[in-house]
Structure 1
Amino acid sequence: MTTVLHTDEQQDSIYRESLRSLQRVSREISATLDLDHILHLVAEEMMRVGQATRSAIAIRETTSGELQLVACLGYSETEETHLRAMLQTPEAQPVWADALHTNQPSLTSSATKGSEITAPIFHLESLAGLILLTSDKENTFDQGTLEFVEAISFQVSIAIGNDQRYDDQLKRGELLRRRADQLAQVLEISQALRSDRSLEDILEEIAYAVQESVGFNVVLISVLEGDPPHQRRVAAAGIPIAVFERMKKIQQPWATLRKVMDEEFRISQSYYIPMEQRGDWQNRLDVYDQETDDTTRRVGRWHPQDMLLIPLVGPSGDTQGLLSVDQPRDGLIPNQTAIEALEIFAGQAALAIENVRMVEALQQRADTLALFNEVNRSATAKLDLNEVLSTVVEMVPRLIECTHSSIFLLDSEDKEYILRAAHGSTFTHAPPPTFTPGEGLLGEVIRNGMPLAVEQSSYPIPGFSEDETGPAALVPLSAGNQVVGLLCIGRQNQNFSPAELATLSTLADQVAVAVENARLFDQVHRFSQELELRVQVRTQALDEAMKSLTEERDRVETLYRIASQLSASLDLDRVLNRALELVVEAVDAERASILLLNPQSGQLIYRAALGAEIKLPVGGKPTRFSRDEGLAGWVIKHRESTIAPDIQQDPRWIKSQDKNKKREYRSALAVPLLAGEEVLGTLLLFHTQKDYFNQDHLRLVEAATAQVANAISNAELYNLIRDQTDRLGRMLKDQQIEAVKSQSILEGVADGVMVADAKGHVTLVNAATERILELPREKVMGRITNEMLGLYGSQGQDWMETISGWAEHPETYTVGEYLAAQLDTGDRVVSVHLAPVLTSDEFLGTVSVFRDVTANVEAEKAKTEFVSTVSHELRTPMTSIKGYADLLLMGAVGALTNKQQDFLSIIKDNADRLTALVNELLDISRIESGRVEISPNVMNVEDITSRVLTAMKNRVKEKELVLRQDIPPDLPIVSADADRVIQILTNLVANACQYTPSGGEIVVSARAHDGKVHIAVQDTGIGIAPKDLDKIFDRFFRADDSLVQEVSGTGLGLAIVKSLVEMHGEQIWVESELEKGSTFTFTLAIAKLEQVEQSAGENETIT
């Protein structure tokens, strides 16, 4: 019981002590704001009340968020260092992790580590610190100690809050003080803006104001200039002068800076670019950079390689420049308040830049207007173009910053632009530079008509020297729709801006007007001078024209008299002499002559002469000169007039051989007599005075000679017509006589003659025609031959087609060709022959000849009947004679002696020959009487030839000949009478056997050609003489050759062959050469397809 009471009293004592400790801490918190003092007091009280070995308090910094050890009691130096390291990663400590996780104090106790209390400190629901209380003994702390520490942590939280509020009040006060200072600085800057201070002074004042009031040790202000814009450093604070002077020389493109200011780095209107992003701008931007080896960043702290860029955006919204700061005095990353303050100063700087630029622009505009007025006054006062251009190029540097200027103007004649004025250039112009539209860069500006700013380059510009290759401005001078010139401006460094180009364009417009005014003045002045000169020239021309008109009148009057005289007669001699008189009278020559050219001999004929003691016969007198000799020959050869001032010195003149002449002529005028392209001769005029004849004389004589030449042509034409008329009269009379003779001859001939013209109208019919045709002449004359086809028999229509062919194509007619037919009128037979009348391939008409051949036909018919009767009468006894001769030779009546056999053989051979003659006569008779008919049918040529060759085999063998056939297997089928074809081939082969010596060869061949089958029999016999080829197919014809006469024959075989071939409607011909052989060829028609098919069907039916 006593122990329990003692324990309760002990706990009460601890509780009371805890309360007193809490009251003491509370009083200190209320009495002071020194947080370090309060925290050390709290640490002492916890050690005392809790009987702990060690105590410590750590506070979290608001900027970095790290726990910093503030109060530490009972720890050795090593333990304190270890504790500080542990506070860097409190969550990693197992003892502290539970308290930090649950946000509640935790109590741990063990025999090895002792007792430990960990209590978190919270302020505004955030961890503000950590309380650590430890003892080396186990179970030193109990629940009361834990509650005490929790209560004390609450007091510490209050103290921390009081301290933070106090710091906030201090900072707010400092901020208000700074804001007041800043506003004062802004007010001073605003006052400076309203003064006449330079932009550099104003921006430098702003830089120092930012350094002083915002809290950055380094401040740099740049402005943007040029096109494209670039950064120019103007003012700085905190940068060494040498470094700043170097930076001012470097102009950075605004595009490069703009790429660095990415949207992700934007804070308000500013851009904070941390050190970690230096790879984006390093080696690309020129910056004031402090050398440092520290590449680590402390949380919330400014790094030396951080960048803060504030664009200077003016009221217009355009970026005027850039404000950049570095080295904040508090070493912290700038907050929103600092950035807002910087942006206030940036706005003031932008406003200052805009104001200064506006003032400069206004001043420049005023200067520009003043300069424009001065240019206008100069251009108005000076109308001399060179003075105007010199004034312009001298004033341009006052308007635009430049080192040299020049003006090119268009030369209207050469269409080139020439340098007319230059200023400030060291270029020497000898000769002045020129260029054409489209040539080079200047030519392109002229062609486009638009101003152009050229960046600094090595492009050569005419008028600039080699070292003047900086930026240039090229502005065309346009007047209306034409570019009259080009203004060229150059300088060494900065490119020309669009505003400068616009100013130069305005100046160029005024210069163009001034140039045009000066040019107009020059033109008016020149026109005035030209007008005065023209008036003077016109006056002189009028006087000369009046003189010329007077001379022309006299010349025309002379020419009229010459023309009148020449047209009065066609007598050539009279014409030439009268013309010569008039020409001599017109030019007052002392001697004159007309020489005409004989085109056949080329000799000159003396046809007319005046002033010389020469009497010419009618028709003239030949001279010793030809067409290429002397002055006259030169004129004729060259077909041109000439004046010889002194003929004695002229190489063309041939001296006269007349030694008795009284005068020596010195000057001459010679004119050719031309009629179209023909030179008729020449007219020569002479005078004893040197250089007497002039161009007026020449023009008058040339006009007169044209009339003389026409008169000569007319006279010659008249003579020609008269001769032609006489000749035609004689020819007409001769023709009439011949016509009477021809008519008498035609009327006297026995044959009828009918002549038709080219259109077929009958123009001539003789009396024999009336008698033979029994037609009155009146019914035939004038009719067309097409209406009288009956006169030409059944072939009349075919004949008309042949006549049409001759009329359309006369060149197809062969000499000797004619048409022939027989007309049977019932009581008589008329032979008709028709031939064309042609001359020089021109169809004139036709001539038809009619002959009464009735008697001839009846005689031929009687002859044929006689031959047929005699042949039949001879054939019967000859058959008996031949038969008995054969019986006797066969020994039918007993044996015969040799002599008897020879006699009988002679009888048999003659009987055979006579039988063959009779057969051929019968064939001819049947053919002529029309009893032989052709029955064409489909036949195979190879079969027919084989049959003929087989039949002739023995005969060929007896003469030791070679007989073969050459027929291709694909030879077409023909349409012909097979029996007659066999007869034709047999006669031809037999004929070849007769006249081919032993050892020769006979070939029967066939080929298809031009729709026909050509069958040829070729031998190597004696051949046929050329003179006999035309008669070879005549009846009874046999060549007058010993070799032919040795072979018996009638001369009818080939005539029969030709008749049979022609009865087929085909042709046969022969080709032969003496001692080499002959080839007889005839044609057969190829069978039509339907004939072949019909023949095949009939053969099938028969089969």
Structure 2
Amino acid sequence: MFIIEERATPHPHELGMGAEIDRMVERLGDLAAMIARDRPIAEIVKETLGDISELFGIGELIIEITAEDVKPNLHWATYGIPAARAKAIVDNLSHEFIDDEMLSLVLSEKYRVSKNAYYVPSEEWLELTRSDPFMDHPSYYQHPENVKTPRGSADSWHEADSYKFTVRDNNGEMVGVLEASYPGTGKLLLKETLEQIELFVEMIAIAVGRERSHVALAKKRAEPSHKTELLEDVLKIASSVVSERDVRKLSEMVLTSVSSLFGFARVELIVYDESEGVFKWRALFGHSPRAESEVQHKSIPVDVVFEDLAEGRKIGKFAYFTRAEQRTSRQMAYEADLDENPIPATARKKDEMRKGDYLAFPLRDSASRVVGVLYPSNPLDGRVPDMATIETIEIFTSLAEVALENARLNADREQALRLGGQKTEQLSRILDMATGIMYIRDLDQMLDTILKTLARLLGIRRMVIGVKHAGEDVYKIEALYGFSAKAAEEIKKITYPIYQVDSIVDARPETRGDLYSRWWEKLGRITYYSPAEGVKAISKEEMAYYPDPDLIRMPRTGKGRWHEIDYMDTIVVDKMGTPIAYLELLKPRDDRIPDSDTIEIIEIFASLAGIAIENARMLQDHIESRQDAELYTDVLSHDIKNFNQAILGYLELLKSKMDTPDKVAVIDKIAEQVMNTSWLASNVRTMSRVTFDDVELVRTDLGGVLSDCIRSVSQYYPGRRIVVNHTIERNTYFILADELVRELFTNIFTNAVKYDSHEPLEIDVTIEPVYAEDRKRWRVAISDRGMGVTDDLKPIIFDRFSKAPKKKGSGMGLHIVKTLSHRYGGKVWIEDRVQGDCSMGAVFKVELPSA
């Protein structure tokens, strides 16, 4: 707020005269020039108010800027009003002595006298405020004692008269209100004068629009950094959330985290109760104790909840928004603290989120069923979150899904411990499998691993995995187990129309069939069995599935026995419940139709296959889109989610069974995954800092950095015997760098360890001065004896989007090496340790300017 007490010398001349018109045009030109030069909005408004006062003889002016994004820079300004009165007026208005309803009334057509000008005669103003004497305050007037004095003549100014001018943007939205009082002539203003004042009001509107553009641009520039920082906070809290095993404590942690991270005064969580077929309140945040007590005994029908998840209310990938006025009476009957959420009668502002509105984020299980809903409401800023915030809440919701699923399954796992050694062994194998496939890597390799593990675990003799190729409208066989090389080659040539496979999950019995089978029988949540008796025909190409054709003509040997042309498909679905693949069993171990326990295990592996396929496809999408910030977010959210699901979900189980070397080995694998998760998060953070932080380079001891990295890599891999040959000295070689220089060399050393299976593992490090362009540089060479890098990969191995095979992890490490080398004015490249033979290991050379 600024206050200008002194008044300009008013010249209430007839502006119709040529000289006065010239003065007005000149002042408008000066204001336009100020706007063009991007002068501060407060300075522009101050100049405009002075011009209006001087040109039109207006004694007092007060303006309120109502645009929320401009308010921090300028909210109120007064001109010609003594400081004490101006402060009292603004204090009164800020406490809504004139509320929105009254403002809407005085800015109605009834009082409009020109395009954006409104005149409220004193007689009507006093009548409007009669019912609420606090709405009219003595500070509004120069002479409060004259307020109730009769008007002198029809065209004379009265103490309680007022003119209001609306400031509107290009879309007609009101962004401010200017009030003009006490014309110097003592007369009411002519319409011509009002229209001329409106020209100056429009200059304020242009200045406000310009200011809004600057605010929006600054906000847009700050968004990537803010989003990265917010995501870090989300992951920090999520790590605590996902490790919590008690469902009630976990629920409270989720609600508290959503409130603190995203600024919601209230958050609610409901979960689905399978035994009763209804949703029940699990936890409330920000409600009264009475409401928390009452909802413990309430349940919500499924159809009522799904009204909140209607397609028309969708505002994000997994986010839905319900306005207060959209709530049905049936929905309101099941709400908590309904009496505290009346539907407001005032007009809704743009992006406003008011009491009674709420967001809904569905929580889904591994089969994509909605098992809960998170309801944030009452945002502290009163606005619907922007899309970046919505996306971050969705990431947090995904992590909460894993946490709640793990907590829910914890009781089941404890019960599984009592079922005996066989069940424990199965679960241990599942964990072993899960921790091995959670990296984003070659999809074919992951699917083959899934089939081989299933074969070892359940003794299945033949099976395949078919993957949907939506662009070609077919499913293709991508992985096989138990077939000869020739048969596998023939099977991979077979494709199946998408509609044929997808129709298997159709809930109607009369349509559950396809060209090859008359009917299917559902045996599990996502598993369907086609008996030989229902098979219509076997094509010539499909005979490759059956190594012993004579068995096809044999009858079934008994009830519950498997026939040669029986097959069982477990449908793999994505997060939205859409089929994306199928795991087909063609020959079980004991020639019996699988029981429920076996089917449950197969379905777990099918879910893991779904994660593998979605991860691989997501990475491919990011490679094609090349959107850096989105890549960091997706890699972090998916890898962290998968690591925690695979590791934390079985940690307690394996701890209680640590009585054999095999189980100790599993624990070692878990520890390795935790380290990999930390390493991945570190690399993502490094990329974020490289991308968004300012570069501030200082003189740095390169020898000290290398010595620290050599010591760190040995500590990071305690199970490996690592020998580093070097004669590096401290305080001898100096460069210009920042603290991230350690990440550059740590990634090279880590790469050397990852790709070298020798024991002991040997690394050579040398440093020498070189000269280029009359400048001294330090060349560091780090040699390993690993698998090496072929010539065709050397130019692209440092690119984050390279096609280099056999990458372990997210593939960001070497990209960080290249990025940081360039950051310090240097370069990096790869040579063969033994010239001409890449298989003997690689030499990473980094060249950095001396300081």
Q: Do the two structures share a fold, i.e. TM-score over 0.5? A: no
Q: Which TM-score band (shorter chain)?
A: 0.3 to 0.5
**Structure ranking higher on relative contact order (CA contacts 8 Å, 6+ apart):** 2
Output the TM-score relative to the length of structure 2.
0.34
TM, length-normalised to structure 1: 0.27
